[in-house]
Amino acid sequence: MRLALFEPDIPQNTGAIARLAACLGLPLDIIEPAGFPVSDRAFRRAGMDYLDRVEITRHPCFKAFDEWRRAGAHRLVLATTKAELAYTDFAFATRDIILLGRESAGAPAHVHASADERIRVPMREGLRSLNVALAAAMIAGEAVRQSTLLTLSARSACA
């Protein structure tokens, strides 16, 4: 299972998602172009020392990413506000790539068309969307829970 970001444009969110991926043991794919250099201070600060603990693969464009994931028989699961199916009602699989769109614009039509599945985070009526890092945490947490990819430490997160 993997997380992927389509042309991320906020370095702090990308850093936070990289940290999430490290903690959950998920590889992270970044589909270029990003709206910032990966050497950006804000990206590094948000990712902290966790950036060395996550496998990050950069793809030069969506076409290259899509060809790569199809060759690897990965199912592309797009998180989008336009989906009908709630992520909590979705059956995740170990070959899934959970793709999150750009913070400023989501995912364009050609990305929607390439997705094998579309899921959403249910929200109150009249609200647009969650922060992409929060959505990633909610969806990835459920995906990992379903797949039992992670053996959690018995130590409390608050210790």
Nearest to 97 by CA among 148, 21, 40, 154: 21
Q: How far apart are CA 117 and CA 78, in angstroms?
A: 6
Q: Model's pTM, two decimal places?
A: 0.89
Q: Is residue 155 part of a domain?
A: no
Q: Is residue 100 part of a domain?
A: yes
| Residue 94 belongs to domain spanning | 2-147
**1 CB-side CA count, 13 A:** 23
Helices then strands, counting H and E runs in the chain, come out as: 5, 6
pLDDT classification of 159: cutoffs 50, 70, 90:
very low
Is the pLDDT at 24 greater than 90, yes or no? yes
Q: What is the mean pLDDT of residues 15-38?
A: 92
Q: Is residue 153 part of a domain?
A: no
Q: 86-134, pLDDT tens digit by residue?
A: 999 999 999 999 999 999 899 999 999 999 999 999 999 998 889 999 9
Is the pLDDT at 158 greater than 50, yes or no? no
Model pLDDT, residue 138: 97
Give the range with max mean pLDDT: 39-43, 45-49, 110-114, 122-126. Answer: 110-114
Q: Which two tokens stand for residue 118?
A: 């579309």
Model pLDDT, residue 136: 98
Characterize 105-117 residue by residue with b for buried, 16 or more Cβ atoms within 10 angstroms of its Cβ, and e for exposed.
ebbeeebeebbeb
Contact between 32 and 48 under an 8 Å Cβ cutoff? The reply is no
φ and ψ at residue 25, rounded to 5 degrees: 75, 30
Looking up residue 33, the CATH number of its domain turns out to be: 3.40.1280.10
Bridge partner list, 153: none
Question: Based on the structure, what is the number of domains in the chain?
Answer: 1
Is the pLDDT at 46 greater than 80, yes or no? no
Task: Please name the amino acid found at residue 77.
Answer: V
Q: How far apart are CA 144 and CA 31, in angstroms?
A: 22
Model pLDDT, residue 156: 44
